[in-house]
Structure formats: structure tokens, C-alpha cells
Structure 1
Amino acid sequence: MTFIWYLALILISTKVAGHLSTRIGQPPVLGKLIVGLILGPALLGWIDNNDFIHYMAEIGVILLMFIAGLETDLNQLRENWKSAFAVAVAGIILPFVGGLAVGEAFGLAYAYSLFLGVIFSATSVSITVQVLKDLDRLHTKEATIILGAAVVDDVLVVILLAFMMSFLGSGSAQASLGLVIGKKALFFGGVAVAGWLVVPRFMKWLSGIKVTEPVISMALVICFAFAYFADLMGMAAIIGSFAAGLAISRTPFKHTVETKVEPIAYTVFVPVFFVSIGLNISFDGVGSQLGFAVVLTVAAIVTKLIGGALGARVTGMSMRSSIAIGSGMISRGEVALIIAATGLQAQLLPAEYFTPVILAIILTTLVAPPLLKVCFGNNQKTLEG
């Protein structure tokens, strides 16, 4: 019954830490992330990053991005697709070059340096979504661009990863680039058709069945089905759940689903996800690679910030909004963690560099909330104009 103790400890710790973060003027999510660092292997070692934590965290981040999809203005997303695309592309190119440069500077083999660039090209906006939600900025134009850019970023980085593994990977880790691109096309075509034609009818037909909470149950079925389909097609599951949220946001059930799914998510699953980020940190073997980890972290933060801001700026956003958008792309989170683990298995990342790379990924995630608070923490509903 150890998992019951883990759950109780996580819930009380995240609530207290979130409250303390708010008291010192920081987003609550920062305290929740630090809880994982304190309770995990890095410090106290009270919680192991076991299968229970992993599965609960997966559900948490899927629900978090599902809620983000529900709250995203689809019309605004269509209007700002050029900015979102430019932010994603610039936010991949600069970090890729930065990761490559750091690897070369520290004497890594060229293939390893290239893979560092791929790892830090990734973006995970799940933490950004929570901060913007806490600040009541999730409905702004800047937030919409960040979310759109994250989707494009995920697609391009996965294709880039497949390209790298096709030419540099070993054994069964090699991937067919054509197959990867085909799966992405199938995913977007499938969710577009399902979201436009199937989801509204599905929700309407099954909302009246004589069972407890049919609407929210069917919404969760759609959420998890889209997430599974995304994973099956080589995408991050959170892209699928985000797409599910967008699809349901077009139906008359949007408000009902949004109101009832939030208590499910934020009572149990989302706190476990925040803690799980910190549980990935271990300081074993970092001492000899500390300089590498520090330089890599700084490069990862600066290149993503500048890349995202540059992409927004060239599409007509103000300087202030551009910097806010760039700050929203900094967190690498679970997407980069997955890529790093894949690279280790494919022998594209040396084992001795794995821990400092993970540390750099986590640090980008810890830096994001206070930076977002600075950029978005004002009384205006939008920064633009």
C-alpha cells in the first residue's frame, strides 16, 4: 500500500507548496515542481518514480492539455497560425544550433552534438498552460500562439528525431522517415475528420443515456482515445488530448465538460504530474559534468526564448508580446525527457551525459513559471496593443 502513502504525501505537499509560492508572488506550479525535487531521489528520497507515479502523471498531463484545448479559442488559433508556425520554426532552429554548439564545445562526437540539438529543440507547454491558467491569461492571443506553436513544434521535432535515427541510430532504433511523416498526416487527418464530424454526434447521441454523468464520461472517452491515437502515430499523447479538447469546445457541452473535468484533474492527477517532473532529478554523477549541465541549461533557455520571440516578432507581434511568447516556449518538460531516453537507447546520447542533460531539461521547466509570471503578470487581459 505504499502508493497510498505516496498519493497522500503528494497531495498535501503540493497544496502547501502552491500556497507558499503564491504568498511570495510566484505561480503555485513552481512550488509543486520543487516538491518533486525535495521529496524525490535528489534530496529526501521519500518518493520513487515508479510505475504508479508514471501512470498517474501521464493521466494528469493528458487531462491538463485536454482542459487547455477546451479553453482555446479555435477562431483565434486559425487567425494566428502564421505566428504560431513562425514561433515553432525559429524556436527549433536556434535551440538546435545551440545544442550542437554546446556539444562541439565540450568535445562530444558530432553525432552526439547533433542529438543534443534535437533534444533541446523540443517544447512542452503543459507547465506553461498551468501558469497561464493561474494568471487568467489562457484566453489571450499570446497563449493561443504558444499552444499552436507547441503543436507544430511537436510534429517538426518528431520528424527531425526520425531523420536523425534513420541515419545515425542503431539496430531496431532506426526509423523510416517516410513512415513517420505518413503517420503524422494520418493523425491530423483523422482528428480533423473525427473532431468535425464524429465528436459532436457522439456527444449528442450518448449524452442522454441513463447512467451517472454521461457527458463527462463520453468526453473522457474522446480525450483518452485521441491521446492514444496520437501516441500510436508517434506523437505526444498531449497533442491528442489537446485536439480532443478543441473538438469538444465546438459542441454545446463545452461548459459542462470544462466545469466537471477540472475537479477530476486537479484533485489528484495533475498534482502527481507536477511532482513527477522533479522526481526525474538525481545528482548522482553530476559533479564531473556540472559545467556542461550549466552551459547547456543557459543555452537551452536563451536560444528558445530568443527563437520564439523572433518568430513572433517577424509576424508583427509587439516586442513585449514576443518576449512573453518566447518565455512560454522555454519549458522542455516531458517531451524532451522522452527524446533523451530514446537517444540513450539508440546510442545517440552517451550514458555519462544522460544525467546532466536530464538536469538541464528539468531546470528549463523550473525557470519557466517565474519568467512567465514576469511577462504575463499584469492586469491586462492581453499584452498586445
Structure 2
Amino acid sequence: MYLCKKTMSLDIPHFELPFFTNLLILLVTARFFGEVFERFKQPAMIGEIIAGVIVGPSLLNLVHRTEEIIVISELGIFLLVILAGLEIDIDDILKSLKGKNIIISICAFFIPLLSGFAIAHLFGLDLMTTVFIGLCVSITALPVSIRILMDLGMINSAVGQKIISVAIFDDVLALTILGVLLNVNGTDMTVATIAKAASISLLKLFVFISVLGTSYYIIKRLINKGDYIESSLDKLLSFFKGKEPLFAIFFAFVLLFSTVTEALGFHFIIGAFFASMLISESLIGKQNLKNIEATTSSLAMGFLAPIFFAGIGLEFNISSITNIGLLISVILVSYFSKIIGGYLGGTFAGLNSKIAMVMGIGLNARGIMELVIANIAYKAGLINNEVFSILVIMGVLTTLTTPLMLKRSFRRLKANAS
């Protein structure tokens, strides 16, 4: 059955296609354009976003972001964050955050954050929009950074691990601030209210860190017992008659952490990310981890993630951008503040200038995490469609150009080392 309704951006009637027809159009176009971009050695997510723009209200006006598509997009976010967590060894990250390395994380977050604040303030935007522009400028797309470093074969290098650890720190800090903003949304926004919300959020963060730390300690103790968990898990799996019990057990564990973070008032992706980081080869065995990664990747990259990125394209509306000055300013400040922040942080931490520059460039991609935060803010009514569309363009451009810039930087670094 076809429903006639009006779009929010265009005051003309359109026919709402059935849900599965919308899903079919989105998936096919997203996979097609994603494949095209992959062949040109660019992230598939860019092509998938463009697919959403083409079939959405901005151009063809065929598909619209319905509640059902939003639910599938949320699942896509969930699996993308899990895949990112599975790629990371939490011990390596803890090592790389020790000592002066924390300076890199602080500079790479707060310099872009304050720069984003300043630009938004200069254009006379309201307080909440100003904060969110700063937040989206300061973020680093952890999954995109991992993918770029993997493609360049630098994921396990010293610089690569530092980039990942800084990205994790910045993303967690950004998501914590997001939790505070969502808590104060709809209040009287006085200093006392904000201070109270911030205090409650910090207390909740402490509780979550305590839960995470306790879980990490228990897991480390179990790992020290040898292959106890792996052998126990294999026995448990052999007992079940149903298919894919390992996948179900793994996701029950991840969902437990996600439930805890949501109960504490944070976004579910924080719990999903850290839960997946706790699962390692030394805990459950190489084959079990490989099976989990393969199943998760197939479901995420083959179906849910393309729908999520195409859904971002559905919300994007180029006609809503009337403030070209703001668009150009946000893009410029996104590039310069993040690269400078990473460079200065690396220099203060004792890295030589060339490695520090690689750090700054490696942290520049926004992509997934920035789009997730912008999407949450837009859905909560904290930013309007124009600001959302500007942030989408910024995320796309920084993600497109970072692989090229980082590849050249690593090439120069290797040339100077030889």
C-alpha cells in the first residue's frame, strides 16, 4: 500500500514506498556506490552516504528516513562500534596512554573543541549548537582511523597505536560530554543545573569505569590461568544444539555492557565498544575470535552499515545550507585545529616534528563517530538541519582526504628513516 505524505524539507506530496521496497533501494544503491568508491581506494561509507543523498529528499525523493530505517541504522552503529573494538588490544592502548602520551589526547581534543566553539560563537549560534559544533570538530572517527591504518599496514606500528589510543580517549570524552548535554537538554540551562548534570554524569562515568576496571581485572586473572576460558567455552558450545551459539553468547555479553551504559545515562555504543575490546584472542582463542569477527563483519558491512550511512544521506539536505560562510569556516577549522592539536600534543609529548605531524593528520578523519554524534544531536532537536548537513559535509571531506594525506606522511617518515 502506498501512502501519500509531505516531506519536511519540500512542500510537495510524495508516495511513501513500502518498507521492504525502501530497504531494497537503499541497500542496492548503497552497495553499488560503496563498491565504486572502494575501487578508487576511498572509504565505502562515502559512496553509501552519497547513495542516500541521491535516492533521498535532496534529489530523487524516493526513500525517506522512517522509524524502521532508523532502527536498522541503530543496529548498524552498534555493529560498527563492535568491529572497531574487536580490532583493538586494550593492553596496547593502556600502554600508549601512559606518561606524556596523555598530553597528545588532551591537545588533540581541546584545541579543536575550543576552535569549534569560537567559530560557532562568531556566527552568533545558540549555546547548544555551539557546543555540538565544537564536539563534532573535536571527535576522531576511531573505526575510520583503524580502517585507514589497516589499509596502510601501520595498525600495529608505534605511531598507529598512538593514533588509536588518542582517538579512543577523544571519542570517550566526546561521548561523555554528549551524555551531559542530553541530560541538561530541556532544563532551564542555568549554571547550577549544568553543574548538577555534569556532576551526575561524572559520577555515572566513575561507576562505569569501576565496572569496566573490575571486568578487565577478572578477565586478566582468567587469562593467567591459561586456556581455561577457551576450553570452558568450547565445552559449552559443544553442549548447544542450536546454530551460532558463540555469536549469541558474545552478543549477550556486549548487550549486557550496553544495558549498563544506557542505565547510567550514556549512549549504548560506549558499552558496546568497551565490551568488544575486552574480548581477545588470549581469552577465547584465535578460532573463536575469528568466527565472531567474520559473522559480525558480514552482518555489519554487508547489510546494516550501508543502511546506516545511506540513512545519513537521507537526512542530508544541501538546500538547507544558506550560511556558506559557516560551512567554509567549519570545514577549515576542522582541518587546521585537529592537525595542529595533534602536532602540538605530539611535540609536547617529546615526539619529533615529523611523527607529530603524522599524529595530527592521522586524527583528522571524522567519519563514523562524528556522524553518530551529529545524528543523535539532530534527532534530539539540539541542532537544525542546516548545521547537521554542514557537519555531514565536514565528516565526508575529512574522511575522504585523510587517507591520502596520511599515506604521504608515512611515506615521508619512512624516507627520512632510511
| Paired residues of 1:328 and 1:372 also in contact (CA < 8 A) | yes
Do structure 1's residue 247 and structure 2's residue 278 form an aligned pair?
Answer: yes
In 2: Cα distance, 1:111 partner to 1:12 partner: 37
1:271 to partner: Cα distance: 1.3
Q: Classify 1:145/1:207 alpha carbon distance in 2 versus 1 (closer, same or farther; 3 Å).
A: farther
Unaligned 5+ segments in structure 2 are 1-16, 223-228
1:225 to partner: Cα distance: 2.4
- Cross-structure match for 2:25: 9
In 1: Cα distance, 2:63 partner to 2:74 partner: 17
In 2: Cα distance, 1:137 partner to 1:87 partner: 19
Aligned length: 376
Question: Could you tell me which of 70, 85, 88 is aligned with 2:105?
Answer: 88
In 1: Cα distance, 2:113 partner to 2:408 partner: 32
1:27 to partner: Cα distance: 2.9
1:49 to partner: Cα distance: 1.5
| Paired residues of 1:122 and 1:157 also in contact (CA < 8 A) | yes
Question: Could you tell me which of 278, 283, 293 is aligned with 2:313?
Answer: 278
- Cross-structure match for 1:61: 77
Unaligned 5+ segments in structure 1 are none
- Cross-structure match for 1:266: 301
In 2: Cα distance, 1:365 partner to 1:185 partner: 31
Do structure 1's residue 365 and structure 2's residue 395 form an aligned pair?
Answer: yes
**Structure 1: which amino acid aligns with 2:362?**
I
**Structure 2: which amino acid aligns with 1:73?**
D
Q: Classify 1:58/1:146 alpha carbon distance in 2 versus 1 (closer, same or farther; 3 Å).
A: farther
- Cross-structure match for 1:335: 373
Q: Classify 1:47/1:131 alpha carbon distance in 2 versus 1 (closer, same or farther; 3 Å).
A: farther
The CA RMSD measured in Å over matched residues stands at: 3.5
TM value normalised by structure 1: 0.82
- Equivalent positions of 1:1-385 (< 5 A) are 2-82=18-98, 85-108=102-125, 113=130, 116-133=133-150, 137-160=154-177, 170-171=187-188, 176-197=197-218, 204=233, 206-210=236-240, 211-249=242-280, 250-251=282-283, 252=285, 253-287=288-322, 289-317=323-351, 318-328=355-365, 332-339=370-377, 341-342=379-380, 344-345=381-382, 354-377=384-407
Q: Classify 1:142/1:55 alpha carbon distance in 2 versus 1 (closer, same or farther; 3 Å).
A: farther
Q: Classify 1:108/1:75 alpha carbon distance in 2 versus 1 (closer, same or farther; 3 Å).
A: closer
Deviation larger for 356-365 or 83-92: 83-92
Q: Classify 1:308/1:278 alpha carbon distance in 2 versus 1 (closer, same or farther; 3 Å).
A: farther
| Paired residues of 2:141 and 2:366 also in contact (CA < 8 A) | yes
Q: Classify 1:188/1:222 alpha carbon distance in 2 versus 1 (closer, same or farther; 3 Å).
A: same
Tell me the SS of whatever aligns to 1:26: coil
In 2: Cα distance, 1:328 partner to 1:38 partner: 23
Q: Which has the larger radius of gyration?
A: 2
- Map Cα deviations across residues 108-132 of structure 1 (whole Å, 9 max, x no partner): 4667645643453344434444444
In 1: Cα distance, 2:410 partner to 2:113 partner: 34
- Map Cα deviations across residues 299-357 of structure 1 (whole Å, 9 max, x no partner): 23322232233323432441352133222457621123324554x45xxx6xxxx2232
| Paired residues of 2:132 and 2:377 also in contact (CA < 8 A) | no
In 2: Cα distance, 1:167 partner to 1:264 partner: 36
Q: Classify 1:31/1:114 alpha carbon distance in 2 versus 1 (closer, same or farther; 3 Å).
A: closer
| Paired residues of 2:149 and 2:160 also in contact (CA < 8 A) | yes
Q: Classify 1:215/1:68 alpha carbon distance in 2 versus 1 (closer, same or farther; 3 Å).
A: same
| Paired residues of 1:154 and 1:236 also in contact (CA < 8 A) | no
In 1: Cα distance, 2:412 partner to 2:143 partner: 20
| Paired residues of 2:86 and 2:277 also in contact (CA < 8 A) | yes
**Structure 1: which amino acid aligns with 2:295?**
K
Deviation larger for 366-375 or 196-205: 196-205
**Structure 2: which amino acid aligns with 1:337?**
N
Q: Classify 1:241/1:313 alpha carbon distance in 2 versus 1 (closer, same or farther; 3 Å).
A: farther
Tell me the SS of whatever aligns to 2:364: helix
Q: Classify 1:166/1:36 alpha carbon distance in 2 versus 1 (closer, same or farther; 3 Å).
A: closer
| Paired residues of 2:175 and 2:270 also in contact (CA < 8 A) | no
Q: Classify 1:328/1:79 alpha carbon distance in 2 versus 1 (closer, same or farther; 3 Å).
A: farther
| Paired residues of 1:227 and 1:240 also in contact (CA < 8 A) | yes
| Paired residues of 1:301 and 1:364 also in contact (CA < 8 A) | no
1:256 to partner: Cα distance: 2.5
1:139 to partner: Cα distance: 4.1
TM value normalised by structure 2: 0.77
